[in-house]
Amino acid sequence: MSCAARAAVRSLWRLRAGTLRPLTAYGRRIGVRFYSSGMTLDNVNRAAVDRIIRVDHAGEYGANRIYAGQMAVLGRTSVGPVIQKMWDQEKDHLKKFNELMVAFRVRPTILMPFWNVVGFALGAGTALLGKEGAMACTVAVEESIAHHYNNQIRTLMEKDPEKYEELLQVIRKFRDEELEHHDIGLEHDAQLAPAYTILKNLIQAGCSMAIYLSERF
């Protein structure tokens, strides 16, 4: 058997075994292991998975823009390293959902340009209120996202926890990190922000609307 034929046989076997990972648009392998656990394009609830990945991708993108806005205002202050550390974790979250978008052929929300502007404006605007304002924004947003992730975990557990186990692991991990950011915000005087309760409620109302729209559009 020629070298080319042996290579073709190996590729076919890897594909049948579920170990050949999908390609990005640039031809690189992406780190998605869902095919090894039985979660494939053919056997998942596509409507549910599409909604979950689309809205989570939008949420993590929006969170990145919020932290970018905060860093633009507070990056050189004493709280800058704290914000940067949380932003770095959000970058990892967004990277993972970018991979999942490719793996499961999910289109992004059409509202991405809007979230780009609104996210940055929210981050920068609350940062202009000072460290406390930025942290109040973090508490409000991360609390909303954690609640949203809990709802998704509940939905997937009700459908088929074994089939969706690896997606559940991703969501649980990110949920826990969002809760860490929430606690960091409280530790850094979020509740001392001007009109904290009103500000928090307004931001969370906006988050709820963003989730609703990004799931559907």
Task: For tokens 């931001």, name the residue.
Answer: 203
Q: Is 181 annotated as a binding residue?
A: yes
The structure tokens listed for 50 are 């599409």
Which two structure tokens, joined as six digits, stand for 39? 């979660």
- The residue assigned the tokens 């095919």 is 35
Show the CA angle centred on residue 188, arms to residues 184 and 189, nearest 5°.
Answer: 125
CB 32 within 8 A of CB 22: yes
Q: Is 60 annotated as a binding-site member? A: yes
- Does 90 carry a binding-site annotation? yes
Residue 215 assigned ligand-binding role: no
Residue the block writes with tokens 């996210």: 119
- Is position 162 annotated in a ligand binding site? no
For residue 205, what are the CA distances in angstroms to 104, 109, 209?
Answer: 30, 19, 6
Q: Is 182 annotated as a binding residue?
A: no
Q: Which residues are annotated as a binding site for Fe cation?
A: 60, 90, 93, 142, 178, 181
Q: Which residues are annotated as a binding site?
A: 60, 90, 93, 142, 178, 181
